[in-house]
Chain A
């Protein structure tokens, strides 16, 4: 059998093993203490501790577990009195919905539940019900837009500047110390300064993407241009090419693979940074989505978002890789 097919089969196998492992790690069997119906003995126990049977059934229907109802019974109030006092919520009880039983026991959603959330979200991925309730793909588009703008701007600056650095040793020596110092700064460290100066969250996050994706492209472009084989440049000179022709017909295609490699590194970093940046600035974006779901303790939606982030990062990387392959050459 073909080794590639073998490899793919093995990765499918790993996936299945992971899902099964995940399922059992988070699996909580439906116990009698939870669920929508109380057994006769449980009702009897509640009635003896002072709760009317109708109230017990109503609380169950509201989604409370047996142990919770037991505690309510311990308070010694009827359901009507509790409602007057502000409902069971004011006593610190929360009612679960749907799969509450599953989460309540382990705290972590199983694959089935995440699958349900994925299905729900993707059946209407672009809905917009106010600032804190938007579809995951809509949030994703906000993030992609920021990355596209920041990355595009960085490309516009890095290409010509990198060319200049690669062509002129004087320029390279002059700018190198600045690049070396600016390059290792975490892009998020710029965020407060950007917010203060630009006074706009959207523009600040685009700036942060710009500043983090410019360095790999700048360094790679200048390296690629500087290491073009001297024979090729000499050939161009003997053909009396203009400076423009030399740059675009010899140096650019020769340096293209190195430049695209820089772009590939940049887009990867940009995608890493946008999530963190959006957690900081809030409002919109996939990073904010993760943070918002964390605040609502919707672990299943968080997992969905993490999955989406990974897939999109992969797609971005592959698309630049396709370009890279198109312009690559063997010498």
Chain B
């Protein structure tokens, strides 16, 4: 057999494991695993590569040498934040705002909490500040809401602040002043003074100005984002470049890029690196968009079930949504993030019966990697969702993680009996089934709510299910919803890593403008507005070019996508509207933007919510620029007959409990399953890293790209949802 030639590399460096995902030119892939090495990530990365390449009988140099592109995503930066192991930052803010990190925003005391804890005030608490109060200085001076100088900068105070920060051994200086997104003159001047003082003292510290890095409204999120850049992102740049060096030392001839929150990949030399902090979970959404484009599907509802959460995202008209003020690690940030809604329930979620109300509660805490009571060694003493799956026969106790861990089914049965079934007065199997139904039903309603909330119905979407728990539960949480199709890639557990490899090489920049476009706005002002928008786009386009220049990407290979962020005049929440033109040519073109906004707004909030009589605000502009990079090609296999699998891939059978009865399910080996197979339920399709359950009455068909299509079962009575 000819040697494989890996073309694309995806690295997912998690807190405990580093996964490498290698794809060859025919779309075949392998996954390598090794422990993450926090002291030097390149060590874990190499070990993981070696682990993967051994399946293709390749040595490290051989494997790296043929690679054309590589994408990195990891949690090192996030961990640096969470463990508060970042740089010694010095911070300069507007005079009087020195307590920013002590008062925070009240919302940061309960971000990410469950409904119950949001009500339960005694659980709310502030973050430990990233910068201690004695390295934060205020300097007098003010820019007002219109960007005009209300109070000139008190330069003497700036000199004194910089001197003291240097005395206190600050390693970098962050500057964030009020309304600097409107007018960065004061911040710029502080930068100059800081450089002057440093030059005198023979020092050179990096300076981060919020007006340069994140010129968008909202002072706390802008401050947090700029701080993260200095505190966590910059030190991570060093470890990223170590990985890059290591690749090059082993003969790699490609530029290793990093997945960023806006859904594109960027160079590790990019100025705004903090946005690579949260890349992991969005990989799947990017993969979904790419997969959709390959198979000709424009609307995808992405659902990812992991051990602790159920993540939902929509790809609509071939694009994912972007949120502007996401929160990460309990901080509000000002950076574009692919919108993902997370429900705090996954396969590891704990299940309890509340002793006072005698009602079932799922989560919010989870056994995570400790699986559940079915694994005695884990020390877990509360029933998890996985335990229920084991009780019902869906999960093979002897083939969990390909047999790496042997689960104790009887232990799970006993635990469910004592903790769930008895208190509810149910038979143990009915209780386990009930828990799974409840779990899947809550996922289903989140999914439905998300789709309806965008003004669509399930019929407009293909449901895409992935993650370790996706294939097991997709039949349950899609039951009754009239999706156009239900898709499960055979590589569902590695889909997020695959997705990272599908990212465009893309930079995106945002800028706040706050320009009013009112019914009474005269023609000449409309003309000025057009000029302002074009000017801001040009400025951001130059920034995109500057970043690409760092990687020697020529300007003529970059495609640009201009957009505006728009809202009704006075509103606070903007919608992103793509511009149909690269530049606005006349005031008439503003109507194109208005039309796009009105369509989007009425779809999301309903016709009754429209208020065009107040006029509009162009809150800001967006410019994305991307260039072609090599992406995975989907596998393409010859189709076997629909029943050929019966001779090739059947492993046996196992009883499974479903809808209050036992059924004998066919056990199918995914690895041996040929494309074209059509499998009726009840069946369980197993691979070392995943289990798919096909209930009685439904079936799955494996297509030429190794994507399963599960038959849709729409409840006839769902006429309202479809109407």
A and B form one complex = no
